[in-house]
Amino acid sequence: MKDLIKIRDLAVRFYTYEGIVYAIDDLDLEIRQGETLGIVGETGSGKTMTALAILRLIPYPGKIESGSILFFDKSIDQELELLKLRDDRMRSIRGNRISMVFQEPGAALNPVYTIGDQISEVFLLHRRRELAQRAKQRLDSLLSDGNGLAAGVKRPFWGWQRRIYDKIAKESHAFEPRLLGRLPLFRRLLWRMGYEAKLLTVDMLKDVEIPDAARVAVQYPHQLSGGMKQRAVIAMALACSPELLIADEPTTSLDVTIQAQMLELFRRIKVDKGASILFITHNLGVASEVCDRVAVMYAGRLCEVAPVGEMFVHPLHPYTKALLNAVPMPGKKLETIPGVLADALNPPPGCRFHPRCPSAMPICGQERAKLKEVSKDHMVACHLY
């Protein structure tokens, strides 16, 4: 099976007043179909930037300098080059086939719209034809079942509405419904699509195990707890059954017991929906719980990529080893990594970890180590191997 996402030689730079920040430097990474890939690393290692680059959402003054990101499109059996896609095509992928869960659920939700409004927006944007189809079916049943005077009066009107929805179902941006959508009063004829979206939203909220979903759908973000907000954000990301779900530190602001609930949810999503997940975290424990493969990043570069069992049992890269040793574990001496995180403005030459590395060699300061496969699926970028 082909890889879902293939990143090659990706470079992201930020042009700031102080100089050029090399946020991501020659990154090669694959995300396979149906796997959970974890990216771990410390603050400023480029984890989030990798995710944003896939969605082409790098904020100003950052720029994707070079490289390619290939997205395998199952429906046409072709690889799409995301970085060269037209903007409107990218928009139809973003939030639809690749979606993202952000770190802070409170900041990801708009405080002035209800949860239901915000999730139905996804359906109204990406699933117009499906919604129109559903609205049409509902009108059909109304037309065949409706009895009595009221139904008799409304019948011609329903017939007209049905014709409009039929047009949207055939072509999502047909001329007539688009025109109606612009005219005040007539615009209201399209309410049935919003209604269908609301129904789908409630189903979606139930799917992420929100109790009393119909009530939550009409509530505002501030009325929900952190865990509930995160569930709502996940529901929004899952609304269009994406092929890739990017989760950027989804549990960082949550409590341990709520975090455990979330991890359980992510595990279920992967099994039920068959989606690939890119799981970004700085918590090694969380990574070991949910991921199938883990990639370790340091100062914008990949250090090591390995299956989760390998990574935590036989880490190879000195940075991975040091990171694992720095996690407090009972009955183990806490080890620290000497020095500070590499300066992104002025990174050390060669391997970026070499000034802090206990097993640094002269070559480490001159030449960067290429990522190479040392055993099956286990790749490491270090001169030691």
Partner 1 sequence: MDTLVDIKKLKKHFPILGGVFRRPVGMVKALDGVSLAIRRGQWLGLVGESGCGKTTLAKTVIRLWKPTSGHIYFDVPDETKALIEELESQGKNGSKLNYLLNENDLATFSGNRLRSLRRRAQLVHQDPFTSLDPRMKIKSTVGEPLRIHHVLSGEAARSAVKELLERVGLSAGQLERYPHQFSGGQRQRIAIARALATKPEFIAFDEPTSALDVSVQAQILNLLKDLKKEFGLTYLYITHELLIAESVCDYIAVMYLGKVVEMGRPEEIFHSPRHPYSQSLIAATPVPDPSRRVGRIVLPGEVPSPANPPPGCAFHPRCSRASDECRELAPELRPVSSDHYVACFHPL
Least Å from the CB of residue 302 to partner 1:
18
Nearer to partner 1, 132 or 299 (CB): 299
Minimal distance, residue 227 CB to partner 1, in Å: 6
Using CA atoms, how far apart are residues 54 and 64, in angstroms rounded to an integer? 10
Which residue, 49 or 64, is less far from partner 1 as judged by CB? Answer: 49
Smallest gap from residue 360 Cβ to partner 1 (A): 17
Of residues 151 and 326, the one with the C-beta less far from partner 1: 326
**CA gap 324, 303 in Å, rounded:** 14
Type of residue at 323 = L
Nearest distance in Å: CB 55, partner 1: 25
Q: How far apart are CA 178 and CA 169, in angstroms?
A: 13
Cβ proximity to partner 1, 335 vs 373, nearer residue: 335
d(CA 382, CA 365): 12
Q: How far is the CB of 323 from partner 1 (least distance, A)?
A: 6
C-beta closer to partner 1: residue 95 or 221 = 221
SS3 44: coil
How many other β-carbons are positioned within 10 Å of the β-carbon of residue 137? 14
Helix ranges restricted to H, 109-241: 115-126, 128-145, 148-170, 175-182, 191-207, 213-217, 226-238
Residue ranges in contact with partner 1 by CB under 8 A: 42-43, 225, 227-228, 255-261, 263-264, 282-289, 308-309, 312-313, 322-332, 334-337, 340-341
Helix, strand, or coil (residue 140): helix
Q: Give the nearest distance from C-beta 265 to partner 1 in angstroms.
A: 10
**In what helix (H) or strand (E) does residue 79 lie, and over which residues does it extend?**
strand 78-81
User: Which of 239, 284 has the CB closer to partner 1?
Assistant: 284
